[in-house]
Amino acid sequence: MDLGFFLRGLLIGFSIAASVGPIWVLVMRRTLAYGSLPGLVSGLGVATADGLYGAIGGFGLTFVSSLLVEQSLWLRLIGGGFMCYLGIKIALAAPVAREAKDSGGKLSRLYLSTFLLTLTNPMTIISFAVILAGLGAGSTNGDYVATLILIVGVFSGSSLWWVVMTTLLGLLHKKITPQIMRWINWISGFIICAFGVVALLTLF
């Protein structure tokens, strides 16, 4: 195993996951509202999408990459609309901090929502392509094993960030009062909705 490629992927995945954005805010809010496990499951949905986009960039799948860029208008429409919906839903949510009771169905929905929301961001594939090239992903010279190691590193780095973030925020979960949760819902809902509105405005 080439440790160098794995460490590059680890750095890429961690740095992109740590970048503040609507997904970051969404996972933070879920962790504070429901606890570490639901927050981590949401983060792993993001990590899976990061790994997928990393694979597209790392393996040089230009057809898929071009298709995603060409369909960026629809992706922004879907992603922006979804963020607006989530933002409004979160802002109006009951301000009661509680654990996720339906561990099966609810956790799967949390995972799927962040996975799809990350996939509908056309800038993600562009970011991965640029960063992978800058850190020498192209030096694999067609070595699919080395590229696969790099992608495993990307997923591991992204997952590591969400493990750290949700573990630390999870310590605050039981200390969140309904009043504090109300403010968290309003603020996080507003931020996520604002990102959605900006995404929709770029259509014009």
Count CA within 13 A, CB hemisphere, residue 48: 14
**pLDDT tens digits, one per residue of 54-110:** 777 667 655 555 666 666 677 778 878 888 988 898 888 876 545 445 555 788 888
**pLDDT tens digits, one per residue of 5-62:** 788 888 888 988 888 788 899 999 999 988 899 999 999 999 998 888 777 766 765 5
Query: What pLDDT is recorded for position 166?
Result: 94
4: which DSSP letter? Answer: H
**pLDDT tens digits, one per residue of 184-203:** 999 999 998 998 888 788 77
What is the identity of the amino acid at 40?
L
Q: How confident is the model at residue 146 (pLDDT cuts 50, 70, 90)?
A: confident
Count CA within 13 A, CB hemisphere, residue 20: 2
Predicted TM-score (pTM) of the model is 0.79
Mean pLDDT, rounded, for 153-163? 92
Pairwise CA distance, residues 122 & 134, whole Å? 19
Treating both helix axes as pointing N-terminal to C-terminal, what angle do 72-91 and 62-70 enclose, rounded to 10 degrees? 60
Pairwise CA distance, residues 183 & 118, whole Å? 25
Domain chopping of the chain, boundaries: 3-201
